[in-house]
Amino acid sequence: MQNWSQFFKSLAEKMMNQTFLRTTQIVFGACALLTLAGCSSTPRGLQHVPTQPAVVVDPSQTENERSFAASAAKLEVGGGAAVIQATPIGLAQAIAVATYKNALGEDCKRIEVRNKDASSVCGVCLGKDGIWRVVPRNF
């Protein structure tokens, strides 16, 4: 009798462990499936149409600014100063200090402008349209 009692006791423990393990596996599997399904990226709907980027156009410049940009563009870096009538500070001496490329990939020149009353720094950049424009100093 003792043998049968031990046999059934061990059989019940094994069945309990197998049932517990199987239930645990099912619960963890369901949790993993729900997590993956909930966190997966969902594609946009078929009605989504990408928009074209906005076209950026340079602000229009005055005749004085266009004239100054054209004159300053002719200056050689490290060359002599030129007296230009239409500068941001009026009649002044302009010197090309450096060349650089701006964030748009345009060729630019840094220009120092001085007269007896004031001095200023600005840039002139050659746009994609082939026209030089004045870029004011923003700092």
Give one DSSP letter per residue of the chain, joined into a string. Answer: -HHHHHHHHHHHHHHHHHHHHHHHHHHHHHHHHHHHHHHS--PPPTT--PPPPPPP-PPP--HHHHHHHHHHHTPPTTS--EEEEEETTEEEEEEEEEEEE-TT--EEEEEEEE-SS-EEEEEEEE-TTS-EEEEE---
Domain positions in the chain: 1-32, 63-136
How far is Cα 16 from Cα 22, in angstroms, rounded to an integer?
10
Tell which wins on pLDDT, 91 or 23: 91
How far is Cα 111 from Cα 135, in angstroms, rounded to an integer?
10
Encoded amino acid at 95, one letter: I
Q: What is the pLDDT at residue 124?
A: 94
Encoded amino acid at 107, one letter: D
Q: What is the pLDDT at residue 79?
A: 85
pLDDT at position 41 over 60: no
Tell which wins on pLDDT, 82 or 16: 82
- What does the pLDDT look like over 70-101, one tens digit per residue? 999 999 998 888 888 888 888 899 999 999 99
